[in-house]
């Protein structure tokens, strides 16, 4: 009986030891599993971090390459479009230039002043009018009063009326009822005529070539230059030759001027740049408004042109310059913006894809381990 009890005790102890061993094994396995999971997570994090860094580097490189390629493509497209626009513009410019050259060549050719149609511009601007039959009577002499009228007409001032102040005498031989009274006063006020120095003007006397030249040169504003070259008459004759006023006429300067030669000089004067005073005081300065040295081109004819035409010319030139500058700036901005946007988009997409792929791979590797 005692042996039986001893055997039972031994079996119970053995079972207890076995149970304790099994429990210890399960606890150890659980601990090992937990350690494996923790290790897997650490490995996954390390792998993910390394993979993300590598992916970021690869993505950055890919983004740079993509940005460069995109920039090249965009630049190439913009360049091609610009080349097409430039080609079209060049063709148009070439056509316009060719037309301008033809017009310039035509303008450079001396007019046939033997044909009265050469004076159509004078008629159109009402500078010189014909008789009741429309004839200019080109071989007739010109009076001093008529010459003063031509000058005022050429200055587009024929519709201006003045009243001579009571304390100012015009000329003793030009009464207020004279047909050219207003015209002669205007010409005197502008410093274009001075009379004979004795208070007379001799309105019905014949104008000589040197007198006519002096009036036209003064109208164009070149009196200071003429005075510097000797004054009346030779200084004015010299300046007239320099500015091309007398290039189409031959004359004896003391002879009476005929209407044809006066008409030729007036028609020529319409295209000559005027001279204006730009500084006053003890050392006055003058400038020729010929379109150079930041000056505008001003001629007598410009006063007769409608404001719309002058504005249109300036607007066209300005528009072309602004359009060209804007096109260049826009092309640069579009290229730069497109490149930056594309690079950002490519970088963002590539980073997201790389992070997802790297995380999945790292988890799979850790799980397998």
Mean pLDDT across 165-191? 89
The pLDDT, as a whole number, for residue 293 is 86
3-state SS assignment for residue 277: strand
Contacts of 130 (CB under 8 A, 6+ apart): 123, 136, 137
Of 237, 266, 241, the residue nearest 254 (C-alpha): 237
Phi, psi angles (nearest 5°) of residue 206? -80, 135
pTM to 2 decimal places = 0.59
Q: Per-residue pLDDT for 130 more than 50? A: yes
The pLDDT, as a whole number, for residue 274 is 96
The pLDDT, as a whole number, for residue 134 is 80
Contacts of 23 (CB under 8 A, 6+ apart): none
pLDDT in tens, 207-262: 999 999 999 999 999 999 999 999 999 999 999 999 999 999 999 999 999 999 99
Contact 44, 366 (CB under 8 A): yes
pLDDT in tens, 313-349: 555 555 555 455 555 655 566 556 655 665 566 556 6
Contacts of 357 (CB under 8 A, 6+ apart): 55
Q: Per-residue pLDDT for 91 more than 70? A: yes
- Tokens 């003007």 correspond to 201
Rounded Cα distance, 13 and 20, in Å: 10
Q: Per-residue pLDDT for 369 more than 50? A: no
In the structure, what pLDDT confidence band is assigned to residue 309 with cuts at 50, 70 and 90? low
Structure tokens at 239: 């300046």
Of 183, 179, 146, 190, the residue nearest 162 (C-alpha): 183
């Amino acid at each position: 009986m005692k042996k039986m009890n001893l055997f039972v005790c031994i079996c119970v102890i053995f079972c207890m030891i076995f149970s304790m061993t099994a429990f210890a094994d399960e606890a150890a396995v659980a601990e090992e599993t937990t350690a494996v999971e923790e290790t897997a997570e650490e490995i996954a994090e390390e792998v993910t971090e390394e993979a993300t860094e590598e992916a970021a580097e690869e993505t950055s490189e890919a983004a740079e390459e993509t940005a460069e390629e995109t920039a090249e493509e965009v630049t190439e497209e913009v360049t091609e479009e610009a080349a097409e626009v430039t080609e079209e513009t060049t063709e148009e410019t070439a056509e316009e230039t060719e037309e301008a050259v033809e017009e310039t060549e035509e303008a450079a050719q001396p007019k046939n002043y033997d044909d009265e149609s050469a004076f159509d511009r004078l008629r159109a601007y009402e500078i010189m009018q014909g008789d009741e039959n429309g004839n200019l009577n080109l071989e007739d002499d010109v009076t001093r009063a008529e010459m003063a009228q031509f000058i005022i007409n050429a200055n587009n001032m024929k519709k201006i009326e003045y009243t001579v102040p009571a304390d100012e005498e015009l000329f003793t031989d030009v009464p207020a009822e004279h047909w050219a009274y207003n015209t002669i006063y205007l010409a005197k006020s502008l410093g274009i005529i001075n009379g004979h120095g004795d208070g007379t003007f001799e309105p019905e006397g014949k104008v000589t070539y040197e007198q006519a030249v002096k009036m036209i040169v003064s109208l164009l504003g070149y009196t200071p230059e003429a005075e510097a070259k000797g004054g009346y008459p030779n200084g004015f004759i010299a300046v007239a030759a320099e500015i091309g006023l007398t290039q189409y006429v031959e004359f004896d300067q003391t002879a009476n001027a005929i209407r044809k030669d006066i008409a030729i000089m007036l028609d020529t004067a319409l295209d000559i740049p005027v001279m204006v005073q730009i500084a006053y005081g003890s050392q006055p300065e003058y400038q020729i408004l010929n379109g150079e040295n930041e000056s505008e081109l001003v001629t007598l004819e410009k006063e007769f042109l409608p404001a719309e035409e002058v504005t249109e010319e300036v607007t066209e030139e300005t528009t072309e310059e602004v359009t060209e500058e804007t096109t260049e700036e826009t092309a640069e901005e579009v290229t730069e913006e497109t490149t930056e946007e594309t690079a950002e988009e490519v970088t963002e997409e590539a980073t997201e894809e790389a992070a997802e792929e790297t995380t999945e791979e790292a988890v799979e590797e850790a799980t397998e381990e």
